[in-house]
Copies of this chain bind each other. A is one copy, B any other.
């Protein structure tokens, strides 16, 4: 099965692991637009952001010129607990598909958080600890980010307060218990603990919550509690910076064996995995050194890249966060109730949005029944039960490999397998029972949502 020279799974040695994160913004001619104060419409600087974020993380957020940022030794030590993650040649999938394509995936699920989220969680917790803070607050939807942050905080002995979207809190009690195992306090959102939570509950008594609402609560809690700051698991520039470790490892492993991907595929919700996976490849592309085809895959039910507007928008429902310029469906957009899994945020990383706007990458959307077909096919031959999120990338990787079968091209495909689906068996069960459905928002629904985009100078 395995090639004699190239291992079936490539693990870097400790010496080969990245010592710096790579900041793709340094190589971008058109930098991502700055965050704006939602009240004044003015760009937010270091001091403006200090009540919300840790100092060092703000510096990383605002730094669009330093190319390589050293990974502190303590974080590299933590990374050793679960990194390097393997780069795997999908021999069995190739054989099943009878494709001449060579398929590789970077698997980030071999840690208890079950996903790549831990890469940024430990970094953010580390800087909070270093600043002498007592704790951090955050929101979580499906629960992967909350789990990752809980693990990082347990390791560093930092308090962790998670606002979990109420519908997930109730439907995913096991995720909640994993977080509790790591000592986090988990509150269903909206809650009566915050003003914004009370307000939303008063207006919508039966609401099951949303990510945007949980963000508002977490930010309010952090800014109102001495010694606390807010942390976020995706979307932000700093998160993409930390997640660059995925792409750096993948590229180092490929370089070591002379493998060059033709196509790089990642699922995209807020953009943390995709941004991390593609970063060093995108760097080469931006510097004109090498070309790669890069594809973002999003759910057809939450299509921010493929059907959203490139505009300044609110990051949260409560409108307490800065405005970000991004591809967005409008901050009031919530995917239809039959949408399973994550990738449900209304917006997209500003960095990726700018790169997409400038033509450096493609985007495509897929319906979830086709996603779960791919997930099951992958699980059966590759032995890993993939998360629904990751399976968006699997779907498109399979589709690309099947195109190669038609044309006879021996393309090399790299995709990001962000995590495992152990906590998503309700969705798998629906799929097995033929009860899973698809929904694509209508143009009219999106127009209605776009109507609430904020008025910002220079934005129509």
A contact residues vs B (CB 8 Å cutoff) = 1-2, 7-9, 11, 13-14, 77, 80-82, 92, 110-112, 114, 151, 154-155, 173-174, 177-178, 180-183, 376, 379-385, 420, 422-423, 425-426, 428-429, 432
Contacts and interface: CB of A to CB of B under 8 A. Distances in A.
A11 B14 contact: no
A151 B383 contact: yes
A109 to B, nearest CB: 9
Nearest to A150: B380
A240 to B, nearest CB: 23
Given A11-B11, A112-B384, 10 more contacts: A1-B80, A8-B81, A82-B383, A112-B383, A112-B385, A154-B379, A155-B383, A177-B429, A177-B432, A178-B425
Identical chains in the assembly:
2
A180 B11 contact: no
A296 B425 CA distance: 34
A180 B385 CA distance: 12
5 contacts: A177-B428, A182-B379, A182-B380, A183-B380, A422-B423
A458 B184 CA distance: 58
A181 B80 contact: no
Contacts of A428: 177-178, 180-181
A80 B8 contact: yes
Nearest to A154: B380
Contacts of A2: 14, 77, 80
A7 to B, nearest CB: 6
The 10 closest A-B pairs by CB, nearest first: A174-B425, A1-B77, A154-B380, A422-B422, A177-B425, A8-B80, A112-B385, A177-B429, A81-B383, A177-B428
Contacts of A420: 112
Contacts of A11: 11
A181 B13 contact: no
A376 B13 CA distance: 30
Given A432-B180, A432-B181, A80 B9 contact: yes
A384 B423 CA distance: 16
Contact of A112 (B376, B379, B426, B429): B379
A14 B11 CA distance: 11
A173 to B, nearest CB: 7
Contacts of A7: 13-14
A100 B219 CA distance: 43
A417 to B, nearest CB: 12
Nearest to A175: B425
A428 B426 CA distance: 20
Nearest to A182: B380
Contacts of A178: 385, 422, 425, 428
A181 B112 contact: no
A140 to B, nearest CB: 16
Contact of A110 (B14, B110, B182, B380): B110
Contacts of A423: 422
A173 B112 contact: no
Nearest to A118: B383
A114 B9 CA distance: 19
B183 A383 contact: no
A412 to B, nearest CB: 20
A155 B381 CA distance: 5
Contacts of A385: 112, 178, 181
A87 to B, nearest CB: 13
A188 to B, nearest CB: 15
Contacts of A111: 383-384
Identify the interface centre among A80, A114, A173: most chain B CB within 10 Å of its CB: A80
A376 B179 CA distance: 11
Contacts of A183: 380
A426 B173 CA distance: 9
Nearest to A420: B112
B92 A376 contact: no
A160 to B, nearest CB: 12
Contacts of A8: 14, 80-81
Contacts of A1: 77, 80
A231 to B, nearest CB: 18
Contacts of A180: 428-429, 432
A422 B421 CA distance: 10
